[in-house]
Structure 1
Amino acid sequence: MKQFQWPESGSVRLRCNNIWQETPDCISFTLTSKDQASTFQFIPGQFVTLGVEIDGSLVHRAYSLSSLPNQTEMQFTVKRVTDGLVSNYLNHHLQIGQEVEVLQPAGQFHIEQPHNNKVLLLSAGCGITPVMSMARTLLADKRDQTDIHFIHAATCAEQIIYHSELLDMKKQHQRFKLDIMLEDATDTEYMEGRLTQATLENYCPDIRQRSAFLCGPVAFMQSMKEYLDALGMDMTQFYQESFTPSEPPQPDNAYSASKADALAQATVFVPSFGTQTQISTGSLLIDALESAKVPVIAACRSGICGSCKCKVTKGEITRTSTEALTEQEIADGFVLACSCQIHSDIEVSLS
């Protein structure tokens, strides 16, 4: 089979090939190429930015892949969230045969980060998706001998995503250990409560010997990181999905209060689109580009997904994230618009 070729920039349209109910408030679906024969390459743990049209506007969000790489379908699992525009649309309106805008896989949270031969995959809720891709991939490789300990937290049994498959993996692979913690463990054999430092140590006595990959709600990840550190894990072997909003950018010392006052307004000029807009200094570049109707994608708004990459060719800015950029792109002047603060009149190129 041939490998799917992603464009150097921009999106492609992929077809929804299958949809099924994963839990009462969560669906899984697969996307495939038009010929349904091309395989998709990505690193387990990475995410993809999807774009769907809602009320006449193309809206983008980033979702982790849960499938194996080098397959003809990419699998996603999306949970409905309160007021979640795209998650609710996908759960209620996505149809088999529908085409979706897709940007190529990206992200630095993945199984190719340096790790030893014993790993802890730790997740809660829908954060299970990227670590499930890691587990599936490690177990599918018959040459791989990684010892996998998978710990997952959920509210109740019916909310455990991939529950049946997890149990099958535990039954079929001696090197796969599974522990599940439920807030409500009624009619199950699982422990009831929330994951604490003590329960983590109880589940995984050899935690200090493991590398860890963590994904889940922000508060959950903050607590788990603190617990793992306190339990003596080597934190150079700790990785977590950073798909959360960054702190507001802080100006460099080079920009004094008087200079900021003198430049209360800045002009953002995009020559290739023949458009410019005025915006307050200190504002984010993404806000200026969106107000000028420039077709830039801001899926995560936290400097992680890289979908809003552009080049500042003139002017002064500061940035808080370069995570999705290569060293060469940084040297060439590329920035992530969602993590870039404007300090003067600037000129921007999207290519």
Structure 2
Amino acid sequence: MEQFQWPNQGAARLICKSRWQETPDCISFTLTSEEQDKTFSFIAGQFVTLGVEIDGNTEYRAYSLSSLSNQTEMQFTVKRVAGGKVSNYLNDHLQVGQSLQVLPPAGQFHIEQPHTDKILLLSAGCGITPVMSMAKTLLADSQDRTEIHFIHAATCAEQLIYHAELQQMEQLHPRFKLDIMLEDATNTDYLEGRLTQAALANYCPDIASRTAFLCGPVGFMQAMKENLAALGMDMTLFYQESFTPAESTQPEVEDTKSKAAALAHATVFVPSFGTETKIVTGSLLIDALESAKVPVIAACRSGICGSCKCKVTNGDFTRTSSETLTEQEIAEGFVLACSCQIHSDVEVSLN
């Protein structure tokens, strides 16, 4: 079968092939191409960014893939959350046969990062999706000998995403070990409580010799990172997913002279669209492009997904993220517009 070819710029339109209830508040979906015989290539652990039309506007959100690469369908799981505009819309409205915009797979959290022959996959809640893809990928390779210890935390048994599939994986593969901790373990054989440092050490006595891949809520990931460091893990072999915005590295304006400079203006010129936009120096490039009505996609607005990649061909700027850019692209002046601050007149190319 042929591989699906993503557009050079912008999003593809894919079809919802199937949907099913994973837990009371989680639904899994699969996406396929219109031809339905094209395979999708990505690295286990990466995500896609979906563009969903809601009330006349296109909203973009990133969702990790839980399926294997080079299949005709891509799978992701969406949890209903309070105030979740896109997540709740997908749960309520995305039906089989409907289409939506999808940006190419991206992200630096993936199984091809350097790792030892023993790994720990650690997750909570919907954070299970990218590490599930990693586990499937390693187990599908008959030549791979990586020992996998999968530890997952959830609130209760009915909230366990992919539960039956995980149990089957443990039964079929001697090199796959599964441990689950529930805050409420009623009617199960699992341990009850929170995943503490002591619990990690109990589950995985050789944890210090492993490579860790971590995904879950922000607070959970922070606690687990501290626990792993305290247990002696080599943190150069620690990886975690993050959809949180990059922090600005720009200094605060302190004196009058600096304030005057900060209020200076610069021009953002996009020759291919014939637009010129005046902005305050230090402003984000994405804001200038959007105000000029230039067709740039800003999906995550966090310097993570890479959808707003463009090239500054002339002028001064700083960046807070280069997450999806190669070293060559950085050297050539490519930036992520959502994480690029402008400090002089600049010329920008979107191609």
Question: Partner letter of residue 317 of structure 1?
Answer: F
Shift of 1:150: 0.3
Give the distance between the partners of 1:322 and 1:304, measured in 2 at CA.
Answer: 8
Uncovered stretches (5+) of structure 1, i.e. residues with no partner: none
1:27 paired residue number: 27
2:152 paired residue number: 152
Tell me if the contact between 1:252 and 1:318 (Cα under 8 Å) persists in the aligned partners: no
Name segments (4+ residues, structure 1) moved above 4 Å.
Answer: none
Once the two structures are superposed, the pairs formed by residues 150-299 of structure 1 within 5 Å of their partners are 150-251=150-251, 258=257, 261-262=260-261, 264=263, 265-299=265-299
Shift of 1:140: 1.5
Tell me if the contact between 2:262 and 2:282 (Cα under 8 Å) persists in the aligned partners: no
Shift of 1:7: 2.6
Shift of 1:327: 1.2
Q: Which of 25-34 and 6-15 deviates more?
A: 6-15
Go from structure 1 to structure 2 and tell me whether the alpha carbon gap of 1:223 and 1:51 turns closer, same or farther (over 3 Å shift). Answer: same
Give the distance between the partners of 2:211 and 2:25, measured in 1 at CA.
Answer: 31
Shift of 1:344: 2.5
CA RMSD of aligned residues (A): 1.9
Shift of 1:260: 5.2
User: Secondary structure, in 3 states, of the residue corresponding to 1:49?
Assistant: strand
1:306 is aligned to 2:306: yes
TM-score by length of 1: 0.94
Tell me if the contact between 1:122 and 1:131 (Cα under 8 Å) persists in the aligned partners: yes
TM-score by length of 2: 0.94
Once the two structures are superposed, the pairs formed by residues 67-216 of structure 1 within 5 Å of their partners are 67-216=67-216
**How big is each residue's C-alpha offset from its partner over 1:106-132, in whole Å with a ceiling of 9 and x where there is no partner?**
111111111111110000111100000
User: Secondary structure, in 3 states, of the residue corresponding to 2:100?
Assistant: strand
Shift of 1:347: 2.6
2:61 paired residue number: 61
Give the distance between the partners of 1:341 and 1:257, measured in 2 at CA.
Answer: 21
Question: Partner letter of residue 24 of structure 1?
Answer: P
Question: Partner letter of residue 257 of structure 2?
Answer: S
Give the distance between the partners of 2:49 and 2:278, measured in 1 at CA.
Answer: 29
Q: Which of 279-288 and 32-41 deviates more?
A: 279-288
Go from structure 1 to structure 2 and tell me whether the alpha carbon gap of 1:272 and 1:172 turns closer, same or farther (over 3 Å shift). Answer: same
User: Secondary structure, in 3 states, of the residue corresponding to 2:109?
Assistant: coil
User: Secondary structure, in 3 states, of the residue corresponding to 1:208?
Assistant: helix
**How big is each residue's C-alpha offset from its partner over 1:65-120, in whole Å with a ceiling of 9 and x where there is no partner?**
10001111000111122222211111110011111111111111111111111110
Identical aligned residues as a percent? 76
Shift of 1:259: 5.2
**How big is each residue's C-alpha offset from its partner over 1:249-286, in whole Å with a ceiling of 9 and x where there is no partner?**
31599x99625513513333323223333333222222
1:50 paired residue number: 50
* Count of matched residue positions in the alignment of Structure 1 and Structure 2: 350
Go from structure 1 to structure 2 and tell me whether the alpha carbon gap of 1:252 and 1:108 turns closer, same or farther (over 3 Å shift). Answer: farther
User: Secondary structure, in 3 states, of the residue corresponding to 1:67?
Assistant: coil
1:331 paired residue number: 331
Uncovered stretches (5+) of structure 2, i.e. residues with no partner: none
Give the distance between the partners of 1:271 and 1:95, measured in 2 at CA.
Answer: 41
Give the distance between the partners of 2:347 and 2:100, measured in 1 at CA.
Answer: 32
Go from structure 1 to structure 2 and tell me whether the alpha carbon gap of 1:233 and 1:170 turns closer, same or farther (over 3 Å shift). Answer: same
Tell me if the contact between 1:249 and 1:339 (Cα under 8 Å) persists in the aligned partners: no
Give the distance between the partners of 2:173 and 2:76, measured in 1 at CA.
Answer: 24
Question: Partner letter of residue 138 of structure 1?
Answer: L
User: Secondary structure, in 3 states, of the residue corresponding to 2:266?
Assistant: strand
Question: Partner letter of residue 142 of structure 1?
Answer: S
2:319 paired residue number: 319
Q: Which of 44-53 and 240-249 deviates more?
A: 240-249
